[in-house]
Every structure is written in structure tokens, then in C-alpha cells.
């Protein structure tokens, strides 16, 4: 087959081109003319085949260039897809690590919450004990306040009693002084009476 894929051209033997047909009187002009026309036709056919071959080669080159360009584009897309796949894998790995970190944080928070709940329970128990102790203290304070009031009343009563005793002592001292004065006056009166009686009686020696 020819370059265009069609039927191959019929080869013309060189003997048909080179050897002119001889006649008895020499060369036949018509035969010569026919041979020249045939040679020109063959030359034109040759040029057409060369031109077709050139166009086909150009088309083939363009097709190869297109295929090469398409292959380069496909390779670029493949490289981009590989890069995206790597990025996606890295992202998945990062998300997995984040999920693991969140899980660890969740476990840590759960443990912290358990610890906080235990501490809160202990604090509640201490608060209850403190409230009970405070109630006992308040009750004791009330009793202490009552005892203080009672002591204050007893002290006031003692002070009043001491004042009454002091007044009674003062009255007793005054009565003693008055009694002493009365006794002294009575003694002086008796002495005076005795002296008067002695003056009126006769002297037994006279």
C-alpha cells in the first residue's frame, strides 16, 4: 500500500520510459509525444505523492505533538493526583492523630472529673461536719451566753449584797458609836450622881 493507505501506484518499467519505440523509418513522433506526456504525468504524480507524503508526515508530526502534549497533560494530572492523594493521606493521618489526641483529652478530662467528684464529695462531707460543729458551737455559745448572763446577774446580786452589808456595817458602827456615847453619858451621869451623894452625907470623922 502507498503512504496514504490506498492502492500502491503501478510501477512503470524503465524500459517503457527509456526505450523509444522504433519504426521502419526511425522514431515515431506520436510515440515520442506520448512518452513525454507519460513522463510528465509520472513526474506530476511523483510530486503529488511527495506533497501528500509531506502533508501526511506533517499531520503525523502534529498528531505526535498532540499525543505528546496530551501525554504530558496526563502525566501532570497524574502527578497532581498523586500529590493530592499524598496530601489527603497526610490530612487523614493528621485527623487520626487529632482524634487520638481528643480521645486522650477525653480520657484525661473523665479522670479529672472523677477526681473532682471525689474531692467535691469529700468537701461536702467536711462542710457537713463543719456545719454540725458550728451548730454545736452555736449551741455552746448560746449556753455560754446564758452562763455569762447568769454570772453577770450573780455578780450584780453580789455587789448589791456587798453594798447592803457595807450599809449594815455602817449602821452597826453608827449604832456602836451611839451606844458608846450613851454608855459614856450614862457613866458620867452615874459618876456625877455618886459625887453628889458623897457631898450630902456627914463626915464620919467630924
Q: What is the pLDDT of residues 172-202, one digit of tens each?
A: 888 888 888 888 888 888 788 787 776 555 5
The answer to the question of residue 63 being in a domain is yes
28-54 pLDDT, tens digit per residue, is 788 888 888 888 889 989 999 999 999
Q: What is the pLDDT of residue 201?
A: 56
State the total domains in the chain.
Answer: 1
| Category of 107 on φ-ψ map: left (φ > 0), alpha (ψ -120 to 50) or beta | alpha
The answer to the question of residue 168 being in a domain is yes
> Does residue 19 surpass a pLDDT of 80?
no
Determine contact, residues 87/94, Cβ cutoff 8 Å: no
> Residue 8, SS3?
coil
pLDDT band at 169; cut points 50, 70, 90: confident
The answer to the question of residue 1 being in a domain is no
The answer to the question of residue 170 being in a domain is yes
The answer to the question of residue 24 being in a domain is no
> Residue 23, SS3?
strand
The answer to the question of residue 134 being in a domain is yes
Nearest partner of 5 among 43, 67, 63, 49, judged by Cα:
49
pTM for this predicted structure: 0.34
The domain containing residue 121 runs over which residues?
A: 33-188
The answer to the question of residue 198 being in a domain is no
Determine contact, residues 38/17, Cβ cutoff 8 Å: yes
Nearest partner of 53 among 115, 125, 5, judged by Cα:
5
Determine contact, residues 9/2, Cβ cutoff 8 Å: yes
How many Å apart are CA 8 and CA 198, to the nearest integer? 213
How many Å apart are CA 41 and CA 30, to the nearest integer? 16
* 61-65, 90-94, 134-138, 145-149: segment of lowest average pLDDT: 134-138
The answer to the question of residue 199 being in a domain is no
> For residue 56, with 0-12 CB atoms within 10 Å meaning exposed, 13-18 middle and 19 or more buried, which class applies?
middle
Amino acid at each position: 500500500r502507498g503512504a496514504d493507505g490506498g492502492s500502491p501506484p503501478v510501477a512503470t518499467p524503465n524500459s517503457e520510459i527509456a526505450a523509444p519505440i522504433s519504426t521502419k523509418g526511425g522514431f515515431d513522433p506520436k510515440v515520442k509525444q506520448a512518452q513525454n506526456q507519460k513522463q510528465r504525468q509520472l513526474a506530476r504524480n511523483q510530486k503529488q505523492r511527495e506533497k501528500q507524503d509531506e502533508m501526511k508526515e506533517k499531520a503525523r508530526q502534529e498528531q505526535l505533538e498532540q499525543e505528546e502534549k496530551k501525554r504530558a497533560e496526563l502525566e501532570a494530572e497524574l502527578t497532581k493526583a498523586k500529590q493530592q492523594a499524598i496530601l489527603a493521606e497526610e490530612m487523614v493521618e493528621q485527623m487520626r492523630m487529632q482524634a487520638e489526641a481528643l480521645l486522650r483529652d477525653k480520657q484525661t478530662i473523665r479522670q479529672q472529673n472523677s477526681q473532682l467528684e471525689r474531692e467535691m464529695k469529700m468537701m461536702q462531707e467536711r462542710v457537713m461536719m463543719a456545719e454540725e460543729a458550728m451548730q454545736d458551737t452555736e449551741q455552746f455559745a448560746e449556753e455560754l451566753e446564758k452562763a455569762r448572763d447568769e454570772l453577770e446577774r450573780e455578780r450584780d446580786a453580789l455587789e448589791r449584797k456587798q453594798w447592803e452589808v457595807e450599809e449594815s456595817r455602817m449602821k452597826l458602827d453608827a449604832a456602836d458609836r451611839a451606844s458608846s456615847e450613851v454608855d459614856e453619858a450614862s457613866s458620867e451621869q452615874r459618876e456625877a450622881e455618886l459625887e453628889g451623894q458623897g457631898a450630902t452625907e456627914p463626915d464620919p470623922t467630924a
